[in-house]
Amino acid sequence: MPVRIEADAELPELALDLTPTLVVSTALATRDFTPVHHDPALARAQGSADIFLNILTTMGLVERFVTDWAGPRAVIERIDVRLGVPAYAGDRLSFSGAVASSEDGRVTVRVRGRVSLGDHATGTVTLRVPDDLPEEDG
Amino acid sequence: MTDPEMTAEELHELARGQADLGEVRGAPAPDPVNAPMIRHWQQAMGDTNPVYLATGVAPPAMAQVWTMPGPGERPDDGSPVTDVLAALDRHGCTGVVATNCEQTYHRYARLGERLTPATRFTDLAGPKRTALGVGFFATWTVTWYAEDGAPVAEMLFRVLKFRPSETGPTTPYPLRPAVNQDTRFFWDGVEQGELRIQACADCGALRHPPGPMCPVCRSVARTHTVATGRGVLYSYVVHHHPPVPGRETPFAVGVVELQEGVRIVGNVVDCPIDKLEVGMPLRVTFRRMDDRLVLPMWTPEEA
Amino acid sequence: MLSGRAAIAGVGATEFSKQSGRTELRLAAEAVWAALDDAGLSPADVDGMVTYSQDANQEIAVARETGVGELTFFSRVEYGGGAACGTVAHAAMAVATGLARTVVCYRAFNERSGRRFGRPDAGLGGEPTSQGLEMSWHVPFGLVTPAAWVAMFARRYMHAFGATSEDFGRVAVTMRRHAATNPAAWFHGRPITLEEHQTSRWIAEPLHLLDCCQESDGAVALVVTSAERARDLRHPPAVVAAAAQGSGAGQMMMTSYYRDDMTGLPEMSVVARRLWEMSGLSPADVQAAILYDHFTPFVLTQLEELGFCGRGEAPGFVRDEGIGLDGRLPVNPHGGQLGEAYIHGMNGIAEAVRQLRGSAANQLAGVTNVLVTAGTGVPTSGLVLSTG
């Protein structure tokens, strides 16, 4: 199915169960050793409901959400994220998005990542698609 | 030594100083951009994009990963941000939440190159009321440079440092002023680090405490002037007994005669009780009592 | 004119204690009955009731409790202790104008065992009424007690005139000496020395504990009727030769720190001018002064404002000429509120009546005119009471 990059085209949703394994493995893969991302007792002692995603992971997942859709030829130029509620272990993070603009191979995508508490991350991703061609999927 | 309880004004001064340092280089990444860390990252993220390892580049969102401190290492070592965040902690803004992360990628980092971060403190805004409590927004940027000195990626990062409103060490200060539309300008002023004195918009008469109508010329047109914050101690008391809610005894309260000519009451702080003296020069300082109240207080003017 | 038209014909009081063990309404009723008995009148004679702000007993409640029937005049005078003499002023006006024939003035409370007046009230600045807003420039800074409000004036007075804590102390020592020989006084038999004053703990510098009056449980009531009628009653009348209320320009409740000068009591100056003018008397004509002494420094200021000495001269007046029973001006022969009890000035009015009758515990000789003042630092009031 060809990817449509006209304005308003919607990205396929990406939903992730935020297992402790996902929270902890991404924290360590981004070299973020802050205890609130891997130590539930300490996270709760500091007033959190549980361990939660670190920001480097949020940025990584936003990038993945867009490149999953845009494909390997897309070049990410910019990711702007406004951070909202925490994404706790045990919650589900659902990304949705739509093309905001597409001009001369430069595409801006609006992205929203939601958890049960509300918006975890909202923002835009700017990318270049070199050939200005729709990407083939599969 | 840093004042353990900096005022908002002093925090802004510190922030300006840190911004004036410009871009401060940090230590280079301990490891060059490398395939194992990229693979680890992609697996953890569930990112199956083959382009990175196939073409020898790193996912751009990994920019910061290369220079993250290890467990036990002090983060932001030498960064101009550290002092500002520490001062905010001492100000009672112990809560922290990131609000913005904006990354620009000039190009993808290549396998084998070693990135060096450089941090620039750019802005401190506040105090502002937020859903989490009153706090300050601190903003800084980090640029990652390649060995040839060209920037590879840039990041703007903003955090809210807030005074926890539900939990934490602060309980509501019990001695609250009543505020109405005739006096709100004063309390809004102290929240912003301004000592505002009511001025009649018609005859110019200054007046404190303020009121709705000028007793000199009958005008209801009011404005205010921002006082220089300098004055002399006109009279004072040292309260010892009985205990006062929200206060530790003994404490000093003074009537201060401002340079502008009006008098105002406030605590005299940072001065030993036996050094208090009628006529001593004072300057205003703003002290936060809880997340909703700042009080103007007075500290000895250094000679 | 009001002068000479009304008189205090009866005085009554409960015992003064730290724990009355009775409700404030009962204390009020007991004092009212005692005052009526003293005057030789019955509740049926009463048609007016006056008290002042902060009294927990409504005028109608006291009337109900004492069997007083219909009232044609009732009034509640503002500004706490500053209204003590104001109650008599209002009663005298009512009598002089025919609004009422017999008015009872009263004060009753358990301010030691109940709600303590010296304790901080964090809620003082809580409501955006004019008083709440006024308090809001002071209360947030912990300036919440009457002692501290007064201490602010006292410090400026010391600075301006070179007065010392010992000057305040001499007032306290004199009041306690008077109380020591007054059986009704809480501090009966317990005089103090200047050294004890100086070593008593700080309350709000520059005020020591012994600069501050006590907190008391008790009640006092007065019966005011026409001078003419009073002459036919049980005791010689204490005629209201003058009565006045006074508030100064830029007046606040207790924090008038924003006026030109903080060393005086302009509201007492208003009262003084009115009293001397209305009575046709001068300071030299009174044999005793009942000066409101909740805190010692304002006794000095009052001596100046009332014309007994010049501005800044009160410390010397007290030290050299004296305010004791044998002094140039005997002040508070009963021991005042520092020594007898703190019934917000009403017990002082009762003492003035006793001095005029010749029945006081520390009776002075040849008393024909007594000056009485009410609470200081607040909008205030005063009386000149005379024999005849």
Give the pLDDT score at B169: 44
CB distance B276 to B286 below 8 Å: no
**Beta carbons of B45 and A57 less than 8 Å apart:** yes
Assign B163 a pLDDT band (cuts: 50, 70, 90): confident
Query: Do chain A and C touch: 3 or more Cβ pairs under 8 angstroms?
Result: no
Is A60 close to B45, i.e. CB distance below 8 A?
A: yes
- Decide if B201 touches C, using CB distance below 8 A: no
Average pLDDT over residues B265-288: 95
| Inter-residue contact A50 to A85 (CB < 8 Å) | no
Enumerate the H helices of C120-234 as residue ranges: 130-135, 146-161, 165-180, 194-199, 227-230
pLDDT tens figures, C62-92:
999 999 999 999 999 999 999 999 999 999 9
Does B54 reach chain C within 8 Å, measured CB to CB?
Answer: no
Chain C residues touching B241 at Cβ < 8 A: 201-204, 209
**Predicted pLDDT of residue A42:** 81
What is the average per-residue pLDDT within B200-221? 95
A65: nearest CA partner in chain B: B47
Average pLDDT, integer, range C358-380: 98
CB A37 within 8 A of CB A23: yes
pLDDT attached to residue A44: 79
- Residue C325: pLDDT band (50, 70, 90) is very high
Nearest to B237 among C136, C152, C262 (CB): C152
Q: Answer yes or no: do C145 and B239 touch at CB < 8 A.
A: yes
Q: Which of the residues B33, B57, B89, B101 would you substitute to probe the A interface, choosing the one with the greatest number of A C-beta atoms within 10 Å?
A: B101
Looking at residue B178, what is its pLDDT? Answer: 92
Token pair 């040849």 in the structure block, residue:
C366
- Region B263-291: what's the mean pLDDT? 94
What 3-state DSSP class applies to C232?
Answer: coil
Q: Minimal Cα–Cα distance from C253 to chain B, Å? A: 14
Q: Could you tell me which residues come within 8 angstroms of residue C123 by beta carbon, excluding any fewer than 6 positions away?
A: none
Over residues B132-153, mean pLDDT: 92
- Point out the residue among B50, B71, B167 whose CB comes nearest to the CB of A72: B50
Domain definitions of chain A by residue range: 10-128
Residue C315 has phi, psi (to 5 degrees) of -55, -40
Segment B27-56 mean pLDDT: 95
From the list C79, C106, C157, C292, the catalytic residue is C292
Share of chain C above pLDDT 70, in %: 99
CA dist B229 and A78 (Å) reads 46
Its CATH class, for the domain covering B184-300, is mainly beta
Per-domain residue ranges of chain B: 8-162, 184-300
Mean pLDDT of chain C: 96
Residue A62's pLDDT is: 97
| DSSP category for residue B296 | E
List the structure tokens of C13.
């009081």
List CB contacts of C106: < 8 A, sequence separation 6 or more: C28, C31, C32, C35, C49, C50, C51, C55, C57, C62, C219, C220, C221, C222, C346
Rounded to a whole number of angstroms, the distance from the CA of A10 to the nearest CA of chain B is 20
Q: What average pLDDT does range B103-117 have in this prediction? A: 96
Look at A114-118, B51-55, B242-246, C80-84 and tell me which has the smallest mean pLDDT.
Answer: A114-118
Of B218, B221, B256, B219, give the one whose Cα is nearest residue B236.
Answer: B256
pLDDT of residue C178: 98
Same fold, B8-162 and B184-300: no
Is the per-residue pLDDT at B75 higher than 60?
no
State how far the Cα of B219 lies from the Cα of B196, in Å rounded to an integer: 19
Closest to C388 (Cα-Cα) out of C349, C357, C342, C348: C357
**Percent of chain B, pLDDT > 70?**
94
Query: Dihedrals φ, ψ of B50, to 5°?
Result: -80, -10
Query: pLDDT by residue (tens digit) across C157-175?
Result: 999 999 999 999 999 999 9
DSSP state letter for C319: I
CA dist C223 and A12 (Å) reads 92
Per-residue pLDDT at C347: 98
Q: Å from B104 to nearest chain A CA?
A: 4
Return the pLDDT at C157.
98
As a whole number, mean pLDDT of residues C285-300 equals: 98
CB-nearest to A60 from B51, B61, B71 is: B61
Q: What is the mean pLDDT of residues C287-308?
A: 98
Which chain C residues are closer than 8 Å to B264 by Cβ?
A: 137
Q: Is C257 a catalytic residue?
A: no
Minimum Cα–Cα distance from C145: chain B residue = B242
> Closest to B266 (Cβ–Cβ): which among C141, C144, C202?
C141
What integer pLDDT is reported at residue C120 of this predicted model? 76
- Alpha-carbon gap: B108 to the closest alpha carbon of chain A (Å): 9
Q: What does the pLDDT read at residue A111?
A: 95
Model pLDDT for residues B212-239, shown as the tens digit of each residue: 999 999 999 999 999 999 999 999 999 9
What CATH superfamily classification does A10-128 receive?
Hotdog Thioesterase (3.10.129.10)
Chain B residue nearest residue C134, CA to CA: B209
- pLDDT tens-digit readout, C31-52: 999 999 999 999 999 999 999 9
SS3 B175: coil
Which residues in chain B are closer than 8 Å to C135, comparing Cβ atoms? Answer: 178
- Distance of alpha carbon C163 from alpha carbon C303, whole angstroms: 14
pLDDT of residue A43: 82
Smallest Cα distance from C129 to chain B, Å: 8
Confidence of residue B9 (pLDDT cuts 50, 70, 90): confident
Task: Nearest by CB to A83, from B40, B61, B98: name it.
Answer: B98
Q: Which residues pair with C146 in a beta bridge?
A: none
Which residue of B181, B235, B284, B290 is the best one to mutate when testing the C interface, meaning the one whose CB has the most C CBs within 10 A?
A: B235
Best B191, B237, B293 residue to mutate vs chain C (most C CBs within 10 Å): B237
Q: What would the pLDDT profile of B78-97 be if each residue is shown by its tens digit?
A: 789 988 998 898 888 888 88
Q: What is the C-alpha separation between B73 and B224, in angstroms, rounded?
A: 51
Closest by alpha carbon to A133, among A77, A71, A64? Answer: A71
Gap from C119 CA to chain B (nearest CA, Å): 7
Q: What pLDDT, on a 0 to 100 scale, did the predictor assign at position B77? A: 59
Chains that touch A (3 or more CB pairs under 8 A): B
Residue C175: the pLDDT is: 98
- Phi and psi, residue A87, nearest 5°: -105, 95
CATH number of C6-114+216-386: 3.40.47.10
Q: Chain B contacts of C262, Cβ < 8 Å?
A: 234-235, 255
C292 is catalytic: yes
Q: What local confidence, expressed as pLDDT, does residue B1 receive? A: 33
Q: What is the mean pLDDT of residues B144-156?
A: 95
Give the residues of chain A that fall short of pLDDT 70.
Answer: 1-4, 131-138
Q: What is the DSSP string of B184-239?
A: HHHHHHHHTT--EEEEETTT--EESS--SS-TTT----EEEEE--SEEEEEEEEEE
Whether pLDDT at B211 is above 90: yes
Class of B8-162 in CATH? alpha beta
User: Nearest by CB to B103, which of A25, A47, A79?
Assistant: A79
Q: How far is CA B279 from CA B90, B265, B295, C195, in A?
A: 32, 15, 22, 30
| pLDDT value at residue A116 | 83
Count residue pairs from B and C with Cβ separation < 8 A.
Answer: 129
From chain A, the residues in CB contact with B37 under 8 A are 29
**What are φ and ψ of residue C266, in 5° steps?**
-55, -35
Contact B183 C136 (CB under 8 A): yes
